[in-house]
Structures are given as structure tokens and as C-alpha cells.
Structure 1
Amino acid sequence: MWRNSATVSFSSKLLSYSSSSANPNYFHYASAFSIFSPNGVVDQALSPSHQRFYCSSAVPSPSPSSGSVIKLGFLANKSDAYLPLSLKARDAVQLARHYGRCYWELSKARLSMLVVATSGTGYVLGSGNAVDLAGLCYTCAGTMMVAASANSLNQVFEINNDAKMKRTRLRPLPSGRIAIPHAVTWASSVGFAGTALLACKANMLAAGLAASSLVLYAFVYTPLKQIHPVNTWVGAVVGAIPPLLGWAAASGQISLNGLILPAALYFWQIPHFMALAYLCRDDYAAGGYRMFSLADASGRRTAAVAFRNCLYLIPLGFIAYDWGVASGWFCVESSVITLAISAAAFSFYRDRTTQKARRMFYASLLYLPVFMSGLLFHRLSDNPQCLAENPNRIIELPSFPEVVTESEEDDQKKKVRYVTAVPQGRAPVAYASIAPFPFLPVPSYVDQ
């Protein structure tokens, strides 16, 4: 960033150019930066890239002509009549780029877009036969706003910690490119707007899930990072909410079928973050974060936790097929990619090196988009196969019993029907009621 001495020196050069040139408007160019600061000094909020852009330019020749270019981030107009408007427009563009970049980094836009992808996948899965494109767009937009708000508040609370870490010290708040009140105002505005959008265009259940994820991430997970390693598991719960939000926005309810993708997100985040925590353990220690890897010098426990959670992902493909959410092909594809990430985790467990941890991290990055893509491609909007195989038995997951009498052929013939609004699917298998899925109910079967 520019210091006062640099500004005085540069302004004196401009003044000398104006005295020796036939064009007296060269000194006027220096005042163009008054939009950044009342004293004519570039504000400290300029990013390092902007600093290089403004400070590393070549100095004009001592005798410039009226058509010369002064490299201050804009071109000097040959026509003085258009100069003020041109300067204001270019300065406005620079300000817009600066704050746009700050908002982008505060929101952790790439991470927020991953959250939006999981929410959109949940919306499609919960839509049944027809997907409401407008509702999908509203849900994704609201999710993006809430995720941006949560990430921004996270950086506001961790500004001192981020300043101590190499990979985070150049973020907008530690580097001084944006003020804390400005960041809080931005985060509050987009968070409220995103929640309100979901409440108006989706339903209150989706808005409640969005608000709960925001509160859990910013006010529970963030302070826990400096208190206890359990923060990783709390963060995994936060990451599992967006696909459930999307399902609730589409169907208006939460059902067992809608928990498959959230379960995948929860178990996937543990090995993903354990690899990251191992790779960045020195940086986390410098920042004052209490991560699981810091109390594990050998890395053995960290690798064991990652490997165990990879194994928990294996049954999800079969559960999705067995419950009528996806076809049998997804069961095969899910098993293949889950075994691949489990192999990477096991390799890291056997040989705890930076190279093996990075390989497991990249495998986790590949796993999630492949899993979600396969689930969308092979999804079943209804389950005609179940009805074809069992015409006298209709079973759906969360339900209450109702006796229905058939009077066409035999009035004495009865069957039990389980009524619900979710797509029809076969009952869950027995292993779904034991670890690692203790949160699932006991499976129920109805004979013919």
C-alpha cells in the first residue's frame, strides 16, 4: 500500500511534469485518487494485486505530449472535455472490483457454491416426478446467501487467528482491506435476505434449517475450533444440513429417504477434513485452533478416524437402491468410488506421510461430485419396480397404518397400507438399525 512519502514523491513528479509540459492537466490526474481517501492517498483497503497495479507502473518520460499515457490504473484522455467523467467511471469500476473481491473472499465463494450444489441435489431428489426450476433457483440463491453470511461471520470472529496463519493472513479482514463493521453489515444483510427468500419462496421448514445452519456454524462451530477437537464433528453436522434443506424445500417435509445424501455429506467431511488438518497442522497450531491432529503427533489416530468414516460410506449406495431412491447401477457405482476413497484412507493409515494425506484429500474432493452426480443420474422419481414385484404390498418408510378393504373380488380380503407423501420404496434392511447408523429406526416388513 502507498505511504505518505511515496505519495508526496509521486505528486512532486507529476507537478514537475505539469510545469514542463504544454498540457497543464497532468497534475489533475493525481487528484483522481481522492475518491479513495479525502487526503488523496490510496486507502489501505486496496488488495496486494491492486497495489502492484498502481505502484509498479512505469514513470512517464520527462517531456510527455498531450496524448501521453500516465499509468495510474487508467488512460489519460486526449480530450480534456471527457476527462472528469472518464476518471469517475474508472474509479467507480476500481471500487466495485475491490469490494466485489472482498465480498467474494469473505463469502468463501467456492465453498459456498459447493454448499449450493448439495442443496440443489437434495431439492431434485425430493421433487419426485417434476422439478420446479423456479423453486430450485430460489432455493439455491437462498442457500448461497446463508452460506456466504456464515462464512463471513466466521472470518469476523477469527480475524486475530487468521492473521497468524500463512494461508489466511491475506484474507480481507486480517489484511485490512475491509473494515469489521462493513463485514458484519454484509454478513447480516445477506443472511437475513437468504433466510427470508427461503421462507417466502420455499417454506418455513427450509428457512428454519438455513437459519439453524447459520447459527450452528457461526456461533457454535467457530468458537469450538479454539476450545475442543469436537468442532470437526459439529462442522460435519453443519455440512449435512444443506441437502436436507433442499429436500425440505422441494417436498415440504423430512423423511428417511431424504437422509441418504446428508449422511453421505456427514461421513465424507470427516476424512476430508482429517486429511486437511494433518497437512496444515503446523498452521492450525500457530493460529490457536484445537484440531484433532494436534494431539496426535504420529498421525495414527487421525488416519484411523478418516479410514473408519470412509467405511461408513460403503452401505449408502445399497440403502439408496433398497429404499427406492436410485437404481441398482448407482449401488454399483457408489460401491466402487467408496472403495477407492477407502483405499486411499487405508494407504494413509499405513504410511502417514504428507504425500499420502494429500492423496486422500484429493480422493475426497473427487468422491463427492461423483457420488452426487450418480445419485441424480440414477434417481427414481417413483418406484414401479417395488409395485411390480409386490402388487399386494405397498410399503413406505415413515408412516402410520391404515386398513383398506378391497371389494371388487373378495370383501374379506384385506391388506395393510402405509401412507406417506414420500416416494414409495422397499423397507430398510436390517443393518441400517445398527452402527454406524444408530439414528435409523428398526425396519418393518409386511407380509402378503
Structure 2
Amino acid sequence: MTIVRDILDLIKVRILFSALLTTVLGYFLAVDSASFDVLFLFWLCLGLGFIFSSAAAINHVMEVGTDALMDRTQNRPLVKKRISLLSFWIGVLVLLLFGTAILYIKFNLMVLVLSLFILIFYDVVYTPLKKITVLNTWIGAFPGAMPVLCGWFSVRDDLDFLIIVIFSIYYWWQLPHFFAIAWMNKESYLNAGLKMMSVDDKGGHKTAFHLCLSTFIFLVFLTLPFFFNYVGYIYFIPLMGLSILFCYYIFLFCIHKTVLASKKILFCSILYPPLILLFIVLDSLV
């Protein structure tokens, strides 16, 4: 079972799951109920899943030296050499070829271009920037929010206000999420030479400020689908309840600047992607 765990680690299965959830949401918003096609959605998620998995795996090989210096990543399969580089690159190539083939054959060119752009931006732009500038968090959030566009453009060839808002929701959601992670792991990031805001933020004041600012902008975008009548109270009430809890944990962090408070922020933030999808779907059924 070790090899299975290593493969799931290499493809960053939790991040992959979140990316595919946003893809499903993009598709759901783009297609009318009469045209909803489960098989179409399956092939879309499969093709994108292969591409995103290869992007995550490439990130592992690019950061193997950095991972060896951090407690939370020093047991990764490439660091411990449990998987050979030959096997690794064969696997990446297979994932990339199958994903590209599926998206090219079954979908429009925009979906394939977007998926490859996400891979390139994530591995070639964002990953090196982590050792260059603290702006890497803001820059890396762009490819992180783009899977929803893949779902949208699988059936649409235009942009409208709703999908721009949904993209913005996922962009701004990532910032407090990753600020919390950065505070939890600030010592590891310092040891690895990564340029994270938390590393030089001894008192936590910069982290607290950016947590508050990014959360405020995130919550503004989160409410827009309701105020522009795209969704109703089934979406609005539970997500506002979650947001009150989210803001409370951020308030605790601003007061105490503790790792425990950042863990609570992280836990709460993880709930947003599946719940946003769930409540938009439920709202549409009423």
C-alpha cells in the first residue's frame, strides 16, 4: 500500500479533488439542466485530472531539495527515493499524454489550452517564485482558481458576470487559506529559504492585516451571486454562517497570533469549496 500512498502524495490528491470540484461547478453553471451530461462531465474530469496530476508531480521533482529541508515534506516519495526518477517521468508523461489526448479529442481547444496553461503557470512561474518573492502567493492563486474556467468553457465560448464572480471567489479564497498555512509552517519555510510573508513577520501583524483584507474581499465576492439573484437563501444563509465562524477564527488570530488560531482558519477554509458547490446545486433544485 506504500506505493499507492506515494502516488496519491505525488499527485497531491487533496488539491486535485478541490480543483475538480471547482471544475464541476464551472460546468454546472455553464450548462442548462436539460443538457447536463454525466458522461461528458466524467471525461472532462478525467482529462483534467490527468493534466493536473502531472502538474502536481512535476512540482514534486522541482522542489525535492526544498522538501528535504521541511518537516512536513521531508518524507515525500522523491525525497526518500522510494520512486525512481525514471519511473516518475514515465508516469508523468503517461498522465500528460492521456490527459492531452482526452481533452483534444472530446472537448474544444480552449479547455486543453487552459489546462496546459495551468500546468505551465504552476510549475514554471509560481514554483520558482516561491524562492524569489512573497508575491508568489498572490500570483499562484491565479492557476489555483482557473479550473472553474475549464468547466465553464467546456460548453460555453463566452464570459459573463457570474463566472467572473465565481473565479474571483476561488481566487480570493486561496489567500487566507495559504496565509494560515504559511503561519503554521513559518519555521520550515524559513529553513527552506522560501519567501513567505510569515517568515519575516515576527509579530504577525502583516499576516493579520492581509488575512483580514483578503477575507473581506473574498466575502464580498461570495455574496455577489446572491445579491445579483443568481442564487437564493439556500446558498446565502449556510455560507454566511460558515463565514461568521471563519471571521471569528481570524479575529482570534489577530488577537493571539497563535498556530492554533491559524489551524482553525485553515480547517474552516477547507470547507468552502465543497459547500459552495453543494449549496449552488441545492439552490438550483428548489
Bin the TM-score by the shorter chain: over 0.9
What corresponds to 1:236 in structure 2? 141
Q: 2:158 aligns with which of 228, 253, 274?
A: 253
CA-CA distance at 1:156 after TM superposition = 0.5
Q: Secondary structure at the match of 1:379?
A: helix
CA-CA distance at 1:328 after TM superposition = 4.0
Q: 1:300 aligns with which of 205, 211, 218?
A: 205
CA-CA distance at 1:336 after TM superposition = 2.9
* Structure 2 spans left out of the alignment, 5+ residues: none
Is the Cα contact below 8 Å between 2:18 and 2:274 reproduced in 1?
Answer: no
What corresponds to 2:78 in structure 1? 173
Q: Secondary structure at the match of 1:314?
A: helix
What corresponds to 2:63 in structure 1? 158
* Structure 1 spans left out of the alignment, 5+ residues: 1-96, 382-448
Is the Cα contact below 8 Å between 2:22 and 2:273 reproduced in 1?
Answer: no
- Cα distance in 1 between the residues matched to 2:156 and 2:198: 40
Greater RCO, 1 or 2 (C-alpha within 8 Å, sep 6+): 2
CA-CA distance at 1:210 after TM superposition = 0.6
User: What RMSD, in angstroms, separates the aligned Cα atoms of the two structures?
Assistant: 1.9
What corresponds to 1:118 in structure 2? 22
Which is richer in helix? 2
CA-CA distance at 1:235 after TM superposition = 1.6
Q: Secondary structure at the match of 2:154?
A: helix
What corresponds to 1:267 in structure 2? 172
Is the Cα contact below 8 Å between 2:22 and 2:147 reproduced in 1?
Answer: yes
CA-CA distance at 1:237 after TM superposition = 0.8
Identity over the aligned pairs, expressed in percent? 28
Q: Secondary structure at the match of 1:378?
A: helix
Q: Deviations over 1:377-428 (max 9, x none)?
A: 11389xxxxxxxxxxxxxxxxxxxxxxxxxxxxxxxxxxxxxxxxxxxxxxx
What corresponds to 2:13 in structure 1? 109
What corresponds to 2:252 in structure 1? 347
Alignment of 1:301-340 (within 5 A): 301-340=206-245
CA-CA distance at 1:354 after TM superposition = 1.5
Q: Deviations over 1:66-112 (max 9, x none)?
A: xxxxxxxxxxxxxxxxxxxxxxxxxxxxxxx5544432221111221
What corresponds to 1:190 in structure 2? 95
CA-CA distance at 1:281 after TM superposition = 0.6
CA-CA distance at 1:236 after TM superposition = 0.9
CA-CA distance at 1:365 after TM superposition = 1.5
- Cα distance in 2 between the residues matched to 1:222 and 1:291: 12
User: Relative to structure 1, is the Cα distance of residues 380 and 240 closer, same or farther in structure 2, using a 3 angstrom cutoff?
Assistant: farther
- Cα distance in 1 between the residues matched to 2:259 and 2:222: 30
Q: Is the radius of gyration larger for structure 1 or structure 2?
A: 1
- Cα distance in 1 between the residues matched to 2:285 and 2:113: 28
Moved more, 298-307 or 324-333: 324-333
What corresponds to 1:361 in structure 2? 266
Q: Deviations over 1:332-384 (max 9, x none)?
A: 33333223312221221122112211111111122332222112211389xxx
Moved more, 287-296 or 255-264: 255-264
What corresponds to 1:221 in structure 2? 126
Alignment of 1:384-423 (within 5 A): none
User: Relative to structure 1, is the Cα distance of residues 257 and 195 closer, same or farther in structure 2, using a 3 angstrom cutoff?
Assistant: farther
- Cα distance in 2 between the residues matched to 1:100 and 1:133: 27
1:204 paired to 2:79 = no
Is the Cα contact below 8 Å between 2:48 and 2:115 reproduced in 1?
Answer: yes
- Cα distance in 2 between the residues matched to 1:306 and 1:246: 29
Q: Deviations over 1:136-191 (max 9, x none)?
A: 10111112111111110001011111111111111111101112233223223212
Is the Cα contact below 8 Å between 1:229 and 1:290 reproduced in 2?
Answer: yes
Moved more, 368-377 or 349-358: 368-377
Tell me the amino acid that sits aligned with residue 278 of structure 1: W
